[in-house]
């Protein structure tokens, strides 16, 4: 059975048809599931083979942002603020402002009074060493109490601890049950991660239809990672009827939420007119955005576009700058290397200086 091409960092093939017009082709890789998301690369999901990178379970269950953003926090749970409890709102408010010790003290009092959201908050603080020393065992304790009280975010957070073996023994069976319960209660990240487990076929029997259902649930809730993954299902007809137009709509939604991988594929779709009207200037603008966000694939595609002047004016210095930047991330391109060697020495020096300046400013 053909699996969908869900990819975080992958090789894109660029072909030049007989018309000499550039065509950008999307990545093609097979996903795999890992137990938990790693610390940032930045944008590093740890070094993988370029031919087979994949999304990993996302450990952050809520939609609320952290006050001090970290690109990809490990085992992070950010509880949604309750709307009907002013005391609990104070807890979350302190958390959002980065006043973790205050949040800890307030959450402790609320948790002792039986507030599940406050229990989840304590799990978050212990799990991520915020205002208190990191203690996965205590985090698991509080998450369990909150999960037993029906808090879906705590269920998901505890599942991520169980599947990684933190704060207790590794227990994939319990993790799956907790994820399923959280997903049933509407936790999108639980649905997304459960979908990955069904897709991977190791922890759970492979079931692409069930995976697609769960991805749809998470995508409908607005989770960009799920929108991006589900787009690949519709693009290839895996677990769902093949539907390029729906795939593009999902890529658009995910790219609007700043999912870099979706930005790249949506740009490619617009550049080629696949599932959407061709719009090369808009595609180039999106490639520029993804390039500035550190996507080596986007940088390589943008280099080709600028060097060949398709969808944008020819700018070889800028184009080769992005080629050199992409090369430092492992996205080399022998053909562009050859063209760079043929560039006049003055322009080559400008491109190298521009690449060095951009890399130094990161």
Q: Which residues pair with 15 in a beta bridge?
A: 23
Strand partners, 24: 14
What's the pLDDT band for 15 if we cut at 50, 70, 90? Answer: very low
Helix (H, G, I), strand (E, B) or coil at 133: coil
pTM > 0.85: no
N-term to C-term CA, the chain:
42
Closest CA to 212 of 246, 182, 245: 246
Partners of residue 23 on adjacent β-strands? 15
Averaged over 162-178, what is the pLDDT?
95
More confident residue, 179 or 39: 179
- pLDDT of 218 reads 98
**pLDDT(251) > 80:** yes
- Burial (0-12, 13-18, 19+ Cβ within 10 Å), 86: exposed
Q: Which of 12, 57, 68 is nearest to 31 (CA)?
A: 57
pLDDT exceeds 70 at position 35 = no
Gyration radius from the chain CA atoms: 22
Whether 204 and 175 have beta carbons less than 8 Å apart is answered as no
> How many C-beta neighbours within 10 Å does residue 9 have?
25
CA pair distance 345, 99, nearest whole angstrom: 55
Where are any strands of DSSP class E within the chain? 14-15, 23-24
Residues counted in the chain: 362
Residues 211-228 pLDDT 10s: 999 999 999 999 999 999
Q: Give pLDDT tens digits for 61-107.
A: 333 333 333 333 333 333 333 434 555 578 889 999 999 999 999 99
């Amino acid at each position: 059975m053909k699996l969908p091409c869900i990819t975080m960092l992958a090789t894109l093939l660029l072909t030049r048809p007989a018309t000499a017009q550039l065509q950008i082709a999307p990545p093609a890789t097979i996903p795999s599931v890992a137990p938990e998301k790693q610390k940032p690369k930045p944008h590093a999901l740890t070094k993988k083979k370029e031919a087979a990178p994949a999304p990993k379970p996302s450990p952050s269950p809520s939609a609320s942002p952290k006050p001090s953003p970290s690109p990809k926090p490990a085992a992070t749970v950010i509880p949604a603020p309750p709307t009907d409890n002013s005391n609990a709102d104070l807890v979350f408010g302190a958390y959002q402002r980065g006043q973790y010790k205050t949040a800890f003290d307030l959450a402790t009092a609320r948790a002792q009074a039986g507030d599940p959201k406050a229990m989840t908050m304590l799990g978050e603080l212990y799990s991520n060493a915020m205002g208190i020393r990191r203690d996965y065992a205590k985090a698991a304790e509080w998450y369990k109490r909150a999960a037993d009280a029906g808090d879906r975010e705590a269920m998901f957070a505890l599942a991520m601890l169980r599947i990684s073996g933190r704060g207790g023994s590794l227990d994939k069976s319990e993790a799956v049950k907790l994820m399923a319960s959280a997903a049933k209660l509407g936790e999108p990240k639980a649905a997304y991660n459960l979908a990955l487990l069904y897709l991977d076929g190791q922890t759970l029997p492979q079931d692409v239809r069930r995976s697609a259902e769960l991805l749809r649930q998470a995508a409908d809730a607005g989770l960009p990672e799920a929108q991006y993954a589900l787009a690949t299902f519709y693009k290839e007809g895996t677990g769902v009827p093949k539907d390029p137009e729906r795939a593009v709509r999902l890529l658009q939604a995910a790219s609007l939420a700043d999912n870099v991988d979706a930005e790249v594929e949506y740009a490619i779709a617009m550049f080629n007119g696949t599932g959407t009207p061709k719009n090369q200037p808009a595609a180039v603008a999106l490639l520029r955005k993804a390039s500035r966000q550190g996507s080596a694939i986007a940088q390589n595609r943008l280099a080709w576009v600028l060097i060949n002047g398709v969808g944008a004016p020819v700018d070889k210095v800028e184009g080769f700058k992005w080629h050199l930047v992409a090369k430092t991330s492992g996205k080399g391109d022998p053909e562009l290397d050859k063209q760079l060697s043929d560039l006049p020495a003055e322009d080559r020096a400008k491109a190298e200086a521009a690449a060095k300046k951009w890399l130094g400013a990161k």
